[in-house]
Amino acid sequence: MVAAVSNEDCLLIADCLRKDIKNTQPADTDYLINRRPEIYTALTKKAAPFPYGKQYTYDQQQHKDPKQPDKP
């Protein structure tokens, strides 16, 4: 759908419409058989290592909705 022009770093932005995306599995396939719960712990950690020694730490205040009052 979208391709970079050269080997340089770039940001690609595209609108994806459901009708343009082909199904990757047959209609009768049960997608739940592909679940991998053993990796959920890694996906839900509050801290994640980034390359070059940096680390991302989840901060709940950073992601809160400013329209919602704080819960006691």
User: How is the chain split into domains, by residue range?
Assistant: 20-57
Cα separation of 47 and 41, whole Å? 11
> In the predicted model, is pLDDT for residue 50 greater than 80?
yes
Total-model pTM: 0.27
Q: Which residue has the higher pLDDT, 10 or 42?
A: 10
Closest alpha carbon to 56 in 65, 66, 48: 48
pLDDT of residue 72: 59
Residues with Cβ within 8 Å of 20's Cβ and at least 6 positions away in sequence, in order, are: 1
pLDDT at 59: 76
Q: What angle do CA 17, 23, 26 make, to 5 degrees?
A: 160
